[in-house]
Structure 1
Amino acid sequence: MSSHEKSQNLTRLALGAFMTYAGVSHLTTNRKEFRAQVPDWFPANTDLVVLGSGVAEIALGAGLLTLPKHRKVTGTALAAFYTAIFPGNIAQYAERTDGFGLNTDGKRLARLFGQPLLIGAALWAAGIPKR
C-alpha cells in the first residue's frame, strides 16, 4: 500500500469513528446542542431533524469503518451530507446561534471555513483523487 493509500485509509477510519461518535451524541448527550443548531426557518420538527441526522451520521460512520471496499460510495455520501448541512452552519453564523462553544462570530465564521475541509477529507477518504 502506498503512502497515498495509507493516508486515505487513515482518513476514512478517522472520519468513520468521528461520525459514528457524533451520530450517537445526536441521540444522547448532545441532543440539546444539536437542536439549537437547526435553523428556525427549516420546515421540519427540530427534534426529528436531530434524530434523523444522528441516524444518518451513524450509518455513514459505520459504513466508512466497516465497508472499506465501498469507500468511494460511503466517502462520497459523507461529502454530500457535509454539503447538505452547510446551510445550517451558515444560518448559525447569520443568526448568531451559540452551540458547541461557537459563541462568537469569529468562531462561527471559522467553522464555515472548516466545512469545505471536511468535504475534502470525505472525498480523500473515498479515494478521490486516485493516484
Structure 2
Amino acid sequence: MSGRDFARWALALFYAVAGALHLILPRPFVSIVPDWVPAPELVVALTGLAEIAGAVGLVQSRSPALRRAAGWGLAAYALCVWPANFNHMLLDLARPGHGLGLAYHVPRLAAQPLLIWLALWASGAIQRSGSH
C-alpha cells in the first residue's frame, strides 16, 4: 500500500467516524455552531452525512474521478467548518478555567489547512509537480 493509499484510507476512517458522531451525538457539534448559521441541528446532520459520503467516495476503487470529487468535497467541508472550530475556541476560552485551552485549539485550527491539503492529495485531486 502506498503512502497516498494509506492516507486515503486513514482519512476516510477519520471522516466516517466523525460523520457518525455528528449523527449519533449531535449536541456537542450543535453547541459550537456560530450564531449566524441557520438551523444548527440540520446543519450538523447534513455535515455528518457529507463526511460519510466523502469517506465512501475516498475508498471506492472504480472511479478515480469520484475519489477526486470526494477529496474536493472534503477539502471544502474542512474549510467550511473552520468558523465552528474557531467559535468553539472562543466559547471555550470564555469559560471559567478556559475549557480545553489554547494548547488544544491552536493546533486544531492550524491543522485545518493540513486536512484540506490531505483530502486533496490523498484523493489524487492534486499531484506533486512532475508526477502523474
Same fold (TM over 0.5): yes
1:19/1:58 contact within 8 Å kept: yes
Q: TM-score normalised to the size of structure 1?
A: 0.81
Alpha carbons 1:24, 1:54 under 8 Å: kept? yes
> In structure 1, how many angstroms separate the alpha carbons of the residues matched to 2:67 and 2:56?
11
1:22 to 15, 18, 21: 18
Q: 1:89: Cα distance to partner? A: 1.6
Q: Which amino acid in structure 1 is aligned with residue 17 of structure 2?
A: Y
Structure 1, unmatched stretches of 5+, are none
| Structure 1 residues 90-112: Cα deviation after superposition (integer angstroms, max 9, x where no partner) | 222234378xxx62133112211
Output the TM-score relative to the length of structure 2.
Answer: 0.81
One-letter code aligned to 2:127: P
Q: 1:81-100, aligned counterparts within 5 Å?
A: 81-96=77-92
Q: Aligned-pair distance for 1:124?
A: 1.3
| Contact 1:63–1:74 (CA under 8 A) maintained in structure 2 | yes
Asked whether the equivalents of residues 12 and 75 of structure 1 are also in contact (C-alpha less than 8 Å), the reply is no
Q: Name the aligned partner's letter for residue 53 of structure 2.
A: A
CA drift of 1:19 comes to 0.8
Instruction: Report whether the alignment pairs 1:76 with 2:75.
Output: no
Quick one: distance in 2 between partners of 1:75 and 1:65?
11
Matched, 1:59 2:56: no
* CA deviations over 1:53-95 (Å, ceiling 9, x no partner): 1111111111112245232221122111111111222222234
Give the number of equivalent residue pairs.
Answer: 122
Match of residue 8 from structure 1 = 4
Give the CA RMSD over aligned residues: 2.0
Write out per-residue CA displacement over residues 105-129 of structure 1, whole angstroms, 9 at most, x where no aligned residue.
Answer: 3311221111111111111112222
After superposing on structure 2, the runs of 4+ consecutive aligned residues of structure 1 that deviate more than 4 Å are none
| Structure 2 residue runs without a partner (length 5+) | none
Please tell me whether the aligned partners of residues 23 and 56 of structure 1 are also in contact (alpha carbons under 8 angstroms). Answer: yes
Given that 2:60 and 2:67 are in contact with CA atoms closer than 8 Å, whether structure 1 keeps it comes out as no
Q: Distance in 2 between matches of 1:60 and 1:109?
A: 25
1:13-40 superposed Cα distances (whole Å, 9 cap, x missing partner): 1111111111111111x31111112112
